[in-house]
A and B are shown apart, each in its own frame.
Chain A
Amino acid sequence: MYARTIPIVPAVRSGQGSKDASFEYLTTRKDELIGWARKFSIFPYPFVTACCAMEFMAVSASPYDTDRFGAALPRFSPRQADLLMVVGTVTHKQAPVLLRVYEQMCEPKWVMAFGVCATSGGFYQNYAALPGIDRVIPVDIYIPGCPPRPEMVIDGIMQLQDRIARSSHPILTKDF
């Protein structure tokens, strides 16, 4: 894994030799610029169903502070969010709700399976539990653990940021 940085080329006017820090223009690739902007402005929608919520609160609070990654402000409307954090066990009865929330989110959107229940159903194998939310919606980042340590969540967020930065960001999609 590698992190790309945006090559910022300061404008140097010939003959003037400006030494101040103001940029006249910069050159970069469109995908890298948008990816760089998007990776630091993740607005999560917490779909919190079970005990992993405690760990979600721990990782959001000041000792671990997901705000450092630009991913701290939860939006409680899926229409304003671009990261769906599924925190906890999802049952078959709840799967239609999860799908509806996912479909209400605007592109671009990413999904994080937080904890082992959202990842694979965990230790539940019965009539009630959905064996992993990826049966219903596509998942970008899986975080194992029951519950995951805050470090694991932060690592997951950073991996997702790398993924966002490296992916293509079309201005126009096939739908729009």
Chain B
Amino acid sequence: MKEKKFDPRRDYPLASQRPDLVKTVSGLDFSEISLENVSSGKIPPNEIRISPETLEYQARIAEAHGRFQLATNFRRAAELTRVPDEEVLKIYNALRPHQATKEDLIAIAKDIEKKYKAKINARFIREAIKVYERRDLLKKEQRVGENHGTIQTI
């Protein structure tokens, strides 16, 4: 049987309209996620994670409803599903003011593009580099002892 075509205007919510399209990162079917399978150990604790394909469906749904920025966010997210937690946090920290040199950020962009096929994120980081450079938000070389603690807002 031919697979039903995805219609971003009709197929939301995926959980009830198109569960057939939803799979976990490692390809487990949506319907297979059950208490029984969790209890029997068939589903390992780290298994239940959103897949890049699902995020792409959500991006197309957002787009079909005129929400282009939200769609772009989902597409960046789709790429980030492949990036381990620690690395995600490292990139986030590098994007904070004065936390990374231009070279650091260039390297990160190149790295995630190559390792995780994170093209959109790489482009996003490169765009940040340009602005950071203009607005003096990059880390200066050899400035030891600087500590930027998080300032809690009230």
> Do A and B come together as binding partners?
no
